[in-house]
């Protein structure tokens, strides 16, 4: 999130797709997770029961939406259809967000094809893909206003969808408390493999509403029959993105997500019809769910005042800090204490005309075009050259780009996945659009640049925010959203990297505590 009144879109988009199951399609899991046995998978699939389950979507105890999962056997295999819809209040405005995914699996639960559609604030996105044998996944991302982006992702062996991992865990064997299931996975957003894990942490009994009856006087549905369900709590680590209770069939009983969002299994009438009634009543009475931006903001307990902050010390607690990019450059982490300093930009930096022989190899990742970060696109290159002019000093070029992006983009909430080409055309967006376009422009003229995400301190609270870092003899944080060059010490970096890495911020929401400390 950037600042109050400006969109926390990255957290919301990731949250929406994660809760709506579709985000699981970005992580393709190899069959080796199930001990490399096709027979074991096929045996588990035989115990898969077709049917539908329904969920009430709640935020901090208030009903805000509806979700469902339907499993059906078809001629080509097994089809899993997931749907999610919710009314999310963001930056003082109510937005309808929805997502639908249709996944076709083989009889052995291996992925064959998928079609994911999501929309928030009238901004649709669609991802369609299929497997090609057991070695390649081909998918295309379609966002209005830009060409479809098709990617071929190599994989080893048949692949599964991680959102179905809880189901496969339960069908493969009775879950055991304390056992960790490891998932070798490939993330096409990062174009790299990484290991995920799911740990069974507890076992308990739940009472689930199994059917409903209509109360004509109250004009709502109430529980008619309940069922006692044994369930196991499964928690994902390393970016697995699941925290909830599943039953012996692998169906979700209760799942929790960031920003106080909960999915609770119940009868269809209780989940959907009562939400519809509550939504209409809230609209008539002026009630609304709590603003997600404020739900995920972290109070510092003090307002440090306006102006460019030169030094900031904070104590972090409530989450495991290992794995975050907290230490390095202008940030120093000692135990649970983080110190951030606003450093001056080096006066003498390299020239874009003459660079060391190993420069391109050293910064290959930070100079290469990526999906949705099209630094080699003709329009991006032409604009970068136009902004730069005849200037070849990297420091002055970086500052020119920062000033141009700050001056040229309208600051407003957006919900689509940011594409540098689209941002250049629309000239609007929040911190994610500013950062995406800046990084593409910098790379286009040969300046290594990367995306940093974390927190920005604004008026007594820390909000989720994104900003660029550029190499000018050292990594320098800049902020084209706030117009800062360099960025001040109010920027706390947690993650370096694109969309796949930014999902790691979700586990901070509702858990991270920050205490500001005196600066010597």
pLDDT at 315: 93
Cα gap 482→491, rounded to integer Å: 11
pLDDT at 251: 86
Cα gap 389→354, rounded to integer Å: 17
How far is residue 186 CA from its own chain's centroid?
Answer: 16
**What mean pLDDT do residues 64-89 have?**
85
Q: Between 301 and 248, where is the model more confident? A: 248
What is the number of H-type helices and E-type strands within the chain? 13, 27
pLDDT at 39: 53
pLDDT tens column, 307-365: 568 999 999 998 888 889 999 999 999 999 999 999 888 876 778 887 777 898 899 99
Q: Between 387 and 150, where is the model more confident? A: 387
Kindly indicate the confidence band of residue 434, based on its pLDDT and cuts at 50, 70 and 90.
Answer: very high
- Against a cut of 0.85, is the pTM above it? no
Of 55-59, 99-103, 257-261, 398-402, the poorest mean pLDDT is in 257-261
pLDDT at 334: 94
Topology given in CATH for the domain delimited by 298-517: C8orf32 fold (3.10.620)
Q: Between 46 and 118, where is the model more confident? A: 118
Q: DSSP characters for 190-255?
A: TTEEEEEEEEEEEEEEEEEEEEEEEETTTTEEEEEEEEEEEEEEEEEETT---EEEEETTS-EEEE
**Domain map of the chain by residue range?**
9-293, 298-517
Kindly indicate the confidence band of residue 37, based on its pLDDT and cuts at 50, 70 and 90.
Answer: very low
Percent share of the chain, pLDDT over 90: 29
Cα gap 297→67, rounded to integer Å: 26
Find, among 205, 203, 186, the residue nearest to 194 by Cα.
186
* Sheet bearing 331-334, strands edge to edge: 331-334, 337-341, 311-317, 513-517
> Residue 440: pLDDT above 90?
yes
**3-class SS of residue 470:** strand
Of 48-62, 136-150, 370-384, 415-429, the poorest mean pLDDT is in 136-150
Q: Does the N-terminal peptide bond of residue 486 adopt cis geometry, omega within 30 degrees of 0? A: yes
How far is residue 361 CA from its own chain's centroid?
Answer: 30
Of 19-33, 89-103, 128-142, the poorest mean pLDDT is in 19-33
Residue 386 CB partners (closer than 8 Å, separation 6+): none
Query: In Å, what is the CA distance from 196 to each residue of 28, 180, 193, 227?
Result: 11, 10, 10, 33
**What mean pLDDT do residues 144-153 have?**
68
Count the helix, strand and coil residues of the chain and give each as a percent rounded to the nearest 5: 25, 40, 35
**3-class SS of residue 517:** strand
Mean pLDDT of the chain: 78
């Amino acid at each position: 999130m950037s600042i109050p009144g400006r969109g926390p879109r990255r957290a919301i988009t990731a949250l929406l797709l994660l809760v709506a199951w579709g985000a699981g399609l970005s992580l393709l899991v190899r069959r080796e997770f199930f001990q490399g046995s096709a027979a074991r998978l096929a045996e588990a699939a035989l115990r898969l029961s077709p049917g539908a389950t329904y969920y009430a979507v709640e935020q901090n105890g208030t009903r805000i939406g509806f979700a469902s999962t339907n499993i059906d056997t078809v001629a080509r295999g097994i089809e899993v259809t997931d749907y999610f819809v919710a009314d999310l209040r963001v930056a003082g405005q109510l937005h309808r967000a929805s997502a639908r995914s249709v996944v076709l699996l083989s009889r052995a639960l291996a992925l064959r094809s998928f079609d994911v559609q999501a929309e928030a604030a009238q901004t649709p996105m669609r991802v369609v893909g299929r497997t090609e044998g057991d070695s390649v996944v081909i998918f295309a991302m379609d966002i209005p206003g830009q060409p479809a982006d098709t990617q071929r992702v190599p994989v080893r062996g048949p692949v599964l969808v991680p959102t179905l991992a809880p189901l496969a865990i339960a069908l493969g064997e009775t879950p055991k408390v304390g056992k960790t299931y490891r998932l070798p996975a490939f993330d096409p957003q990062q174009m790299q493999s990484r290991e995920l894990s799911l740990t069974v942490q507890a076992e308990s009994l739940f009472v689930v509403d199994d059917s409903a009856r209509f109360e004509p006087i109250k004009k709502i549905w109430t529980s008619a029959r309940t069922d006692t369900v044994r369930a196991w709590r499964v928690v994902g680590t390393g970016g697995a993105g699941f925290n909830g209770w599943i039953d012996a069939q692998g169906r979700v009983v209760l799942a929790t997500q960031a920003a106080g969002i909960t999915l609770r299994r119940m009868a269809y009438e209780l989940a959907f019809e009562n939400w519809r009634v509550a939504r209409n009543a809230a609209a008539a009475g002026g009630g609304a769910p709590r603003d997600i931006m404020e739900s995920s903001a972290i109070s510092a307990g003090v307002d440090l005042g306006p102006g460019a902050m030169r030094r900031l010390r904070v104590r972090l607690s409530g989450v495991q800090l290992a794995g975050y990019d907290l230490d390095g450059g202008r940030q120093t982490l000692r135990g649970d204490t983080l110190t951030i300093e606003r450093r001056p930009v080096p006066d003498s930096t390299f020239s874009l005309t003459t660079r060391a022989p190993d420069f391109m190899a050293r910064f290959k990742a930070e100079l290469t075009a990526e999906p949705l970060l099209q630094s080699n696109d003709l329009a991006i290159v032409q604009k970068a050259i136009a902004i730069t002019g005849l200037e070849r000093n990297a420091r002055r070029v970086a500052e020119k780009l920062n000033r141009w992006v700050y001056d040229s983009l309208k600051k407003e909430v957006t919900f689509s996945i940011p594409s540098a080409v689209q941002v250049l055309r629309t000239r609007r967006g929040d911190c994610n659009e500013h950062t995406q376009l800046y990084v593409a422009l910098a790379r286009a003229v040969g300046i290594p640049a990367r995306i940093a995400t974390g927190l920005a301190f604004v008026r007594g609270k820390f909000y989720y925010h994104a900003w660029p870092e550029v190499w000018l003899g050292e990594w320098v944080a800049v902020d084209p959203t706030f117009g800062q060059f360099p960025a001040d010490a109010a920027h706390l970096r947690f993650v370096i990297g694109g969309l796949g890495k930014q999902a790691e911020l979700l586990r901070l929401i509702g858990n991270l505590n920050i205490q500001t400390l005196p600066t010597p």
